[in-house]
Amino acid sequence: MCRETHVVVFRKWRNTGTIIALLPELPSEKNGWYCDSYEQIGQHGGADCHGVIQHTTPASAEVCAGLAIELTGIGYNLKPIKRSSCRHHERRRATVKMLR
């Protein structure tokens, strides 16, 4: 069975301490400007990856373990990374172009 791997960056909001998972290669809208994201409250949504990074701090493996388990439980095959690169954002935009 071939399962797609989902690159994920876990971040912790400075103001609330809650965890957000950014999926920088997955588009959340038709232009590819925003990536998909997931939080325990609110669940899936679009996110400005760079904006979220500015308002969050890196999340440790221990802090994001619960959210990682939740995402795995709904079908994601996670590959955690520390930070997204231009390559990840280009893949998101390329995905959008293929779908047009």
pLDDT digits (tens, 9 = 90+) for 7-42: 999 999 999 999 999 999 999 999 999 999 999 988
- Residues 6 or more apart whose Cβ sits within 8 Å of residue 70: 38, 40
Q: Using the predicted structure, report yes or no on whether residue 58 has a pLDDT greater than 50.
A: yes
Euclidean distance between CA atoms 65 and 9, whole angstroms:
12
Does residue 1 sit within a domain?
A: no
Q: Is residue 71 part of a domain?
A: yes
The tally of CA atoms less than 13 A away on the side-chain side of residue 14 is: 7
Name the pLDDT band for 100 (thresholds 50, 70, 90): confident
CB-based contact 93:19 (threshold 8 Å): no
Domain assignment present for residue 21? The answer is yes
Which domain, by its residues, includes 48?
6-99
**Domain membership flag for residue 94:** yes
- Predicted confidence (pLDDT) at residue 2 exceeds the cutoff of 70: no
Domain count, the chain: 1
